[in-house]
Amino acid sequence: MTHPEQHARPRILVANDDGIFSPGIKALALALSDVGDVVVVAPDVEQSAVGHGITIRRPLRFKHTASAGFGELPAYRVDGTPADCVVLGVHLLGRPDLVVSGINLGPNLGDDLTHSGTVAAAIEGLALGLPAIAFSQRPSDGGEYSFTAGAAYAARLAREVLERGLPPRVLLNVNFPAPPAQGVRVTRVGEHRWEDAIVTRLDPEGREYHWVAGASRAPDAHDLDTDYGAVQAGYISVTPVRLDLTARDLLDEVADYVPEV
């Protein structure tokens, strides 16, 4: 007697940059457990704004942890970057069907994508040939976070991506407003950026030290077609991001003036 083929549940690797004890990754991983078999691999301490760094000049520790509140879900902490977590998770635990990063404490919009550890984890998934999604959450005006609605939406979107796939070298960068969301908008990367400022102080021994600070700037803050504008207006922003930095419209122009060897 033959039996219908049993389809295995998809495997989902969850990472972040806020660390394995962040409430955002806990909410995300637990919500995704309804979609597939989840494994968590996250930094042991916060790694915000480290970008797409890979650790190559020292060994990395990869330790199972049962104290981060993930219940029965396997969870591992790494003393490295978000991208390190994805590399080790894929190579030590097996290739997943989807890499998901977040939910980040704070949005990742505009130029934030270039230094975001949350987005970097998704980019590393792309580099390994896997579909990937990054999720980030804006806090309330009082600085509080509620991940319940965002995590539920993340599970719905992850299910769609697993069924439909994503084009090669394309990830989804998703930002949640402070709840409740007004709706969903598919957006482009806006012009949001940080204008850096250096704050210089003296330590107790009179030696200088420096803090990198700055102010947020968004010239297109009211454009609902941008990620920043959509989140500002209370919408969930879903941005397809292509990992191809080539300025294709300038290839011929640059070819006209580059010197020959």
* pLDDT in 10s for each residue of the chain, 261 residues: 444 445 589 999 999 999 999 999 999 999 999 999 999 999 998 778 777 888 889 999 999 998 878 989 999 999 999 999 999 999 999 999 999 999 999 999 998 898 899 999 999 999 999 999 999 999 998 999 999 999 999 999 999 999 999 999 999 999 999 999 999 999 999 887 666 678 899 999 999 988 877 666 666 767 899 999 999 999 999 999 998 888 999 999 999 999 998
Q: How far apart (Å, rounded) are the C-alpha atoms in residues 83 and 69?
A: 22
Question: Which residues, 6 or more positions from 248, have their beta carbon under 8 angstroms from its beta carbon?
Answer: none
E strand or H helix that includes residue 157: helix 148-164
pLDDT value of residue 27: 97
E strand or H helix that includes residue 26: helix 23-32
Q: What CATH number matches the domain at 11-193+220-244, 3.40.630.30, 3.40.50.720, 3.40.1210.10, 3.40.50.150?
A: 3.40.1210.10
